[in-house]
Amino acid sequence: MTNHWIDLKNSDCILIMGSNAAENHPISFKYVTQAMQNGAKLISVDPRFTRTSARADFYTALRSGTDIAFLGGMINYILKNNLYNKEYTAAYTNAPFIVGKSYGFKDGLFSGYTKGKPEAGPSLGGYDKSQWAFEMDENKVPMMDRSLENERCVFQLLKKHYSRYTPDMVSKITGTSEADLINVYKTFAETGAKGKAGTIMYAMGWTQHTVGTQIIRTMAIVQLLLGNMGIAGGGVNALRGESNVQGSTDHCLLWHIWPGYLKTPSASKDSLSVYNASATPKSYDSLSANWWQNYPKYSVSLLKSFFGEQATQANDFGYNWLPKVDDGKAYSWFDLFDKMFDEKIKGFFAWGQNPACSGSNAGKIRKALEKLEWMVNVNLFDNETGSFWQGPGVDPTKVKTEVFMLPASVSVEKEGSITNSGRWMQWRYQGPKPMGDSRPDGDIILELGHKIKELYHKDGVLAEPILNLKWDYDTNGAYDPHKVAKEINGYFLKDITIKDKLYKKGTLVPSFAFLQADGSTSSGNWLYCNSYTEKGNMSARRSDKDAVNNIGLYPEFAWCWPVNRRIIYNRASVDPKGQPWDKDQWVIKFEGEQKDGKWVSNKWTGDVPDGGWYPLENPDGSKREDSKYPFIMRKHGHGQIFGPGRADGPFPEHYEPLECPVEKNFLNPQRVNPTAVVYSSSEDSHATCDPRFPFVGTTYRVSEHWQTGLMTRPQPWLMELQPQMFVEMSEELAKLKGIKNGERVKVTSARASVECTAVVTKRFKPFNIGGNLVHQVGVPWHFGWRWPSTGAEESANLLTPPAGDPNTRIPETKAFMVNVIKL
């Protein structure tokens, strides 16, 4: 989230689209309800009517996989009706930037496309992004037209791109009526007025698509046009899933991201200087903070944290001990199981996961597990992954994989931190002691590390990376979460004087502004530098005192990255003179003194400002050279309406899901995202516009179950509430197929069939897609054969497709094609 949970209460209009927050993020509704009590409007857009929809002022449906069309129509509406925030758009976004002549868009393709030229792995195609570059002036600064009139400026190109997204066209694609579209657009666009704030709450309904990243980009464009970024009650707010998924992403859950969103090194970056140079953006605009110019300070401090005293300037701080990914190869979830299926991977730690039920096209995953030599299941319980060798259709005598189970203790039995969706790191204490032989995950990892080091000591090949790894996180033989938290924050490794103040060797670094690129500091994650300092463990704070602006920032409750800033990009919440656009619910405010129309002292109040520089302008309107643009993490300091870094284009475009019910995309000749990632082994089939699979399918969660159900399916009282795998469908479809509520049916996709109980409701309605009636059904993905013990309730992921987004490789589990047959 750019904002945070409590801040939802400050909103004037909340759009919940691509999530069912009332059921999956119930705590959020405390603040949604507060906002509504203060007069905010709540809009719910979902293919089916949910408990979130039931609380909304306005609900409408769209066909799964058509969100870019829906939101592209909103951009068109905002621009056509001049509802965008002109001052904000011209001053803070890249709308004025002039795009180079080589950029173009034709027949659904941006310039620079090559079919079948995989950027990484099995992409349908890839782009040469250099064709989307901005025009630069003689000082290498992007050329701009702040009047937004130049025909090659981003604003004009945006207008042209989305002029095709008329209500009529959008309605034809989404199945949403034109009247409903206009109603949503009008209500949300009202937040473009100064002093108004609109927010978006999204989750998996938006991400799990071959165009997932671009759906979110479309909304980010809307929020920039309306001036909703950086302000209270605004922002782009991803509702993260598991309680600590934000924390685990921050600390490098994903293969292509290292702690603090540093880049995973690739083989061609064969020295630290080559790596740092390629990862450090260079701006020639003195008004751009270009915060990532500090990259080498963070990467070197990370290496010092990995390798301690062994990391020296002479050995590139151990850079060459790091594992590198091969250039052009991807190592995502999909790719790992693909390689495992191809027998390229011998051993596998399934740590706190259940891929046999959670991964898209899970049938292939189950087969891949059979090809392993060994597998270790680190979990609270056995699950379909640990027991794959005795699953349905598997002959245990034929499976050679040796499976080990390491019992882990449950979250409440462990001390440590979680970071919630709002980026708040919160310390938690141990409750009961671990049961039986189970051990905290930290202890298991630590001991594993010690044992591996011992083995490498004896006769390790290429042993340096392992032997040089700093591995001193135990106290009295047990994992010490405080040691790890301090390591993540980072230490001074020498006595250093910064701005006349001496920082002693061995003390904790106060914040990332103090980190160095010369090996004199360490930090396991620069973004968390400031969380555990000489003042103590900031995440353990529990003060309920609000900040001066009284908007619910609670700066001394827990700790928030970066540097306890509760709303990021908050420099965009003030005008160029540093005064809030919204006088009542302001985030930060400049309170320096002025003399003769000029600011003469520097003082900000409210939230921690995104950089404490002077405002862009003096009170008399003259520009200040010592200021910075508000979007400090962007190379050019501006919010990106034009996003030239994405794999699939600088502007989002509607493409159909890999499996869709229409033969052609009504908007352009490309049916599927031309850069989508699609797997093609013997187990990876798909079916598009195939009469055998006429209905759109989607997957979702229910309140009563958690994820693949390991922690809920063994509970009799929860099973009483949600006992069976079901398929939800409209009354119209049930009638068409002669199915009655409660009957057992078979749901089939190009991959598999799953038996379900029919749940016939008014929550789904058929869609009118370009004159054709299209039905959609939905299945929960909480089940698996291991529990209930009948083995009859299987995972929805046996049905889901082998395709994903080219930027993130998240699977397209929210839109695919199925059939439903009465048993």
Ligand X SMILES: Nc1nc2c(c(=O)[nH]1)N[C@H]1C(S)=C(S)[C@@H](COP(=O)(O)OP(=O)(O)OC[C@H]3O[C@@H](n4cnc5c(=O)[nH]c(N)nc54)[C@H](O)[C@@H]3O)O[C@H]1N2
Q: Which chain residues interact with ligand X by CB under 6 A?
A: 17-20, 23-24, 45-48, 50, 64-65, 67, 203-205, 208, 241-242, 351-355, 358, 378-381, 383, 408, 410-411, 441, 698-701, 703, 705-708, 710-711, 778, 781, 796-797, 800, 813-815
Residues 520 and 493 sit within 8 Å (Cβ to Cβ): yes
By CB under 5 A, is residue 112 in contact with Mo ion?
no
17 binds, among Mo ion, ligand X, none (CB under 5 to 8 A by kind): ligand X
Q: CA-to-CA distance for 141 and 71, rounded, in angstroms?
A: 31
Q: Which stretch binds Mo ion (CB under 5 A): 235-243, 449-457, 552-560, 730-738?
A: 235-243
Q: How many residues bind Mo ion (CB under 5 A)?
A: 1
How far does CA 571 lie from the centroid of its chain?
23
Name residue 97's beta-bridge partners: 144
| CB-nearer residue toward ligand X: 85 or 665 | 665
DSSP for 440-456 reads -HHHHHHHHHHHHHHHH
Q: Which stretch binds Mo ion (CB under 5 A): 49-57, 134-142, 239-247, 769-777?
A: 239-247
β-strands 598-599, 772-774 pairing: unpaired
CB of 714 to Mo ion, least distance (A): 21
| CB-nearer residue toward ligand X: 109 or 810 | 810
Q: Which stretch binds Mo ion (CB under 5 A): 182-190, 237-245, 786-794, 807-815?
A: 237-245
355 binds, among Mo ion, ligand X, none (CB under 5 to 8 A by kind): ligand X
CB of 601 to ligand X, least distance (A): 46
| CB-nearer residue toward ligand X: 47 or 578 | 47
DSSP for 461-507 reads SS-HHHHTS----EETTEE-HHHHHHHHH-BBSS-EEETTEEE-TTS
- Residues 6 or more apart whose CB falls under 8 angstroms from that of 363 comprise 683, 751, 752, 798
238 binds, among Mo ion, ligand X, none (CB under 5 to 8 A by kind): none
| CB-nearer residue toward ligand X: 299 or 797 | 797
DSSP reduced 3-state for 771: coil
| CB-nearer residue toward Mo ion: 248 or 511 | 248
| CB-nearer residue toward ligand X: 634 or 786 | 786
CB of 28 to Mo ion, least distance (A): 15
CB of 819 to ligand X, least distance (A): 18
Q: CA-to-CA distance for 597 and 628, rounded, in angstroms?
A: 19
Residue matched to tokens 């063994």:
714
Residues 667 and 660 sit within 8 Å (Cβ to Cβ): no
**Closest residue to Mo ion: CB criterion:** 241
Structure tokens at 90: 């011209």
CB of 354 to ligand X, least distance (A): 4
248 binds, among ligand X, Mo ion, none (CB under 5 to 8 A by kind): none
408 binds, among ligand X, Mo ion, none (CB under 5 to 8 A by kind): ligand X
| CB-nearer residue toward ligand X: 261 or 706 | 706
| CB-nearer residue toward ligand X: 304 or 763 | 763
Residue matched to tokens 């379909």:
384
472 binds, among ligand X, Mo ion, none (CB under 5 to 8 A by kind): none
CB of 241 to Mo ion, least distance (A): 3
Say which amino acid occupies 238. Answer: A
| CB-nearer residue toward ligand X: 11 or 795 | 795
522 binds, among ligand X, Mo ion, none (CB under 5 to 8 A by kind): none
| CB-nearer residue toward Mo ion: 241 or 449 | 241
Q: CA-to-CA distance for 253 and 272, rounded, in angstroms?
A: 23
H helices of 397-440, where?
A: none
Q: CA-to-CA distance for 101 and 700, rounded, in angstroms?
A: 44
| CB-nearer residue toward ligand X: 2 or 176 | 176
- Residues 100, 112, 118, 241: which binds Mo ion (CB under 5 A)? 241
| CB-nearer residue toward Mo ion: 241 or 592 | 241
CB of 812 to ligand X, least distance (A): 10
Residue 398 class from Cβ within 10 Å (0-12 exposed, 13-18 middle, 19+ buried)? exposed
Name the residue among 335, 432, 440, 455 with its Cα closest to residue 378.
Answer: 440
CB of 383 to ligand X, least distance (A): 5
CB of 255 to ligand X, least distance (A): 15
112 binds, among ligand X, Mo ion, none (CB under 5 to 8 A by kind): none
b/e map 121-158, b = 16+ CB within 10 Å: bbbbbbbebebbebbeeeeebbbbbeebebebbbbbbb
DSSP for 537-587 reads EGGG-B--PPPTT-SS--TTBSEETTTT-SSTTGGGGB-TTS-BSSSSS-S
| Window 576 to 595, contacts with Mo ion (CB under 5 A) | none
CB of 245 to Mo ion, least distance (A): 6
Q: Which stretch binds Mo ion (CB under 5 A): 240-248, 287-295, 676-684, 779-787?
A: 240-248
Q: Which stretch binds Mo ion (CB under 5 A): 234-242, 371-379, 397-405, 465-473?
A: 234-242
Q: CA-to-CA distance for 8 and 534, rounded, in angstroms?
A: 33
**Closest residue to ligand X: CB criterion:** 241
DSSP reduced 3-state for 125: strand
Structure tokens at 313: 């300037």
Residues 815 and 65 sit within 8 Å (Cβ to Cβ): yes
411 binds, among Mo ion, ligand X, none (CB under 5 to 8 A by kind): ligand X
CB of 212 to ligand X, least distance (A): 10
CB of 720 to Mo ion, least distance (A): 25
Q: Which long-range contacts (CB under 8 A, 24 or more apart) does 105-111 make?
A: 105/161, 105/649, 105/651, 105/653, 107/668, 107/669, 107/670, 108/653, 108/655, 108/665, 108/667, 108/668, 108/669, 108/670, 108/674, 109/670, 109/674, 110/649, 110/650, 110/651
| CB-nearer residue toward Mo ion: 241 or 352 | 241
CB of 22 to ligand X, least distance (A): 9
Q: CA-to-CA distance for 699 and 26, rounded, in angstroms?
A: 19
Residues 528 and 419 sit within 8 Å (Cβ to Cβ): no
CB of 692 to ligand X, least distance (A): 21
DSSP reduced 3-state for 98: strand
| CB-nearer residue toward Mo ion: 365 or 769 | 365
CB of 242 to Mo ion, least distance (A): 6
| CB-nearer residue toward ligand X: 379 or 618 | 379
| CB-nearer residue toward Mo ion: 241 or 460 | 241
CB of 18 to ligand X, least distance (A): 4
The torsion angles phi and psi of 700, rounded to 5 degrees, stand at -155, 180
CB of 71 to ligand X, least distance (A): 10
Structure tokens at 607: 């939230």
b/e map 526-541, b = 16+ CB within 10 Å: bbbbbbbbeeebbbbb
Q: Which stretch binds Mo ion (CB under 5 A): 73-81, 83-91, 233-241, 623-631?
A: 233-241
Q: CA-to-CA distance for 112 and 644, rounded, in angstroms?
A: 12
Q: CA-to-CA distance for 474 and 445, rounded, in angstroms?
A: 11
| CB-nearer residue toward ligand X: 533 or 800 | 800
364 binds, among Mo ion, ligand X, none (CB under 5 to 8 A by kind): none
703 binds, among Mo ion, ligand X, none (CB under 5 to 8 A by kind): ligand X
Residues 462 and 473 sit within 8 Å (Cβ to Cβ): no
DSSP reduced 3-state for 802: coil
Q: Which residues of this protein are in contact with Mo ion, per CB under 5 A?
A: 241
